[in-house]
Structure 1
């Protein structure tokens, strides 16, 4: 392995981790984008989640030509992209980690710029860069994933309006290990959970406006149907995840009014789905827990309970309740904090 000055070195500085399963045509493009980096001290760990499309043969060929490419076949019963990401981080040797999905691309200077930024700022746990969204070729949509750099990033993750996606950050590996990586016990939302834990724990980070990577906007149908989202198993899992989010936020720098409101909104969303699935009593029980946890005001609790009961009715009354609940959720989201209202 040679660095930018042509010196031979065996130790990578940055590890790129890519989970994949049966995406070989797109994976080739992602691999090529890493191979084209101007910074040479990288390793690319591709963790295969069970491909049968020739991925193993392609990676064997590339690894033989360039030992910086490392192919890992996932073993064990647990599967999924974040399981593979955890495997990749544990096997990595670099000081820094970048996650790259198998259908996304890095610009040639991406790793050089990211490593230089982290080296200049020894206090940073991670830094994020701007994301360009494309469909077939880089820049074809002329869109950024999220142009807004400021604001309360933890609050946005709580509202599931992620200000950045998995490829945007460069992590100090020690920071990821302090977070204990992705929570493999969660059935979903593991990436949101990771970023919520990082922000709530007060990790030091920086957001940069430069675009250095490109995320493919695939128009694939949603794999989770409404019926699946309203199944008891899915809703019970959602409750467990929200309880974890709440505990993480409470353990962090403080539970602001806005963050309380975001958690209330998420709990109401799950309660509303219980009602829509025909389990009004369970939905109301969950909403009562929000009151007992002292999230939100008594008026908010009363309004939410009334809307849940109305939504659970049959016929026009139930449809009206659902429309009012939808408007109320929007009001909860957009309403300013009390001191801003008084001003």
Structure 2
């Protein structure tokens, strides 16, 4: 059985579509676990109706607290009874054969801990925008490549053996951004990972800009993810240096847009020293 976990927070417009995309799967051996993260838009009451109808198992945090996506996913994993775990954001939806094809792969390839497919980004109305990763992508199971560039469309694109979490631990609840990258790295450091070159799910790009504080949090969390990864696994020094360059560059961009020019320049200079080739490409306009 597959345990499909949906962490939900204020997604009344999309949550039923997410649930329906699981119910309509060609593979029907699943349970749907929804963890509400303190919603205030009426979606919790809607989910209670689905729970009473037997469509889902519904959980929430103590006192209906908002504890973040990682804590919600972890609570779902604690209640999961399937051999495999899939995570679906509450505004995304699965492709019809997602579970069938990924379950079949893991049942036939016991040395793999996780399999993932392609994600199609769509707008709020479901219109196609772009693919992640692209059609030519090939998985090497090299954590160095994943550390440098989180090329996976997560979490909805993947299927993970539940036993994997016993080895690598749960999602990091102190992270309010980047927790998917962190988990994917920890899995790849311990297990083989496979890519199936077919659409697995659709994820919505709402067009709502992330605040400057949100972007700063994302990239500062990225630095913490990097430091933890460096201590866990023998990553190449070149990989560590190039990833630091990317994070410093992104932080420099955030502060520049906020008008903190002096602070921004310090990060941009650090990025240039860490990866001068990339810095040269940025200056020449061949890399953003």
TM-score, structure 2 normalization: 0.80
Q: 1:72: which partner in 2?
A: 59
CA distance in 2, matches of 1:200, 1:60: 39
Are 1:183 and 2:172 counterparts? yes
Q: Which consecutive residues of structure 2, in runs of 5 or more, have no partner in the other structure?
A: 282-288
Are 1:248 and 2:232 counterparts? yes
Instruction: Decide whether the 8 Å contact of 1:17 with 1:46 is kept in 2.
Output: yes
Are 1:100 and 2:88 counterparts? yes
From the superposition, tell whether residues 196 and 40 of structure 1 become closer, same or farther in structure 2 (CA, over 3 Å).
same
Deviations 1:309-330 (A, max 9, x none): xx45xxxxxxxx9589559746
Q: 1:141: which partner in 2?
A: 128
Q: 1:212: which partner in 2?
A: 200
Superposition RMSD on alpha carbons, in Å? 3.5
Structure 2 residue matching 1:25: 3-state secondary structure: coil
Deviates more, 1:141-150 or 1:90-99: 141-150
Deviations 1:203-249 (A, max 9, x none): 112111011211112211113338x839xxx95x6654432121123
CA distance in 1, matches of 2:246, 2:200: 33
Instruction: Decide whether the 8 Å contact of 2:2 with 2:30 is kept in 1.
Output: yes
TM-score, structure 1 normalization: 0.68
Are 1:83 and 2:29 counterparts? no
Instruction: Decide whether the 8 Å contact of 2:241 with 2:275 is kept in 1.
Output: no
Instruction: Decide whether the 8 Å contact of 1:261 with 1:333 is kept in 2.
Output: no
From the superposition, tell whether residues 86 and 322 of structure 1 become closer, same or farther in structure 2 (CA, over 3 Å).
closer
Which of 216, 238, 262 is the equivalent residue of 1:229?
Answer: 216
Instruction: Decide whether the 8 Å contact of 1:261 with 1:332 is kept in 2.
Output: no
Deviations 1:81-100 (A, max 9, x none): 11100111111111100010
Structure label with greater radius of gyration: 1
Instruction: Decide whether the 8 Å contact of 2:117 with 2:157 is kept in 1.
Output: yes
From the superposition, tell whether residues 323 and 37 of structure 1 become closer, same or farther in structure 2 (CA, over 3 Å).
same
Q: Which consecutive residues of structure 1, in runs of 5 or more, have no partner in the other structure?
A: 1-12, 281-307, 313-320, 336-343
Greater share of strand residues, 1 or 2? 2
Which of 179, 186, 190 is the equivalent residue of 1:197?
Answer: 186
Instruction: Decide whether the 8 Å contact of 1:18 with 1:101 is kept in 2.
Output: yes
Q: 1:331: which partner in 2?
A: 277
Which of 55, 77, 80 is the equivalent residue of 2:43?
Answer: 55
Count of paired positions: 274
Q: 1:115: which partner in 2?
A: 103
CA distance in 1, matches of 2:252, 2:42: 45
Deviates more, 1:171-180 or 1:184-193: 184-193
Instruction: Note the C-alpha offset of 1:271.
Output: 9.1
CA distance in 1, matches of 2:270, 2:66: 41
CA distance in 2, matches of 1:38, 1:28: 18
Structure 1 residue matching 2:128: 3-state secondary structure: coil
Say which structure, 1 or 2, has more relative contact order (CA 8 Å, 6+ apart): 2
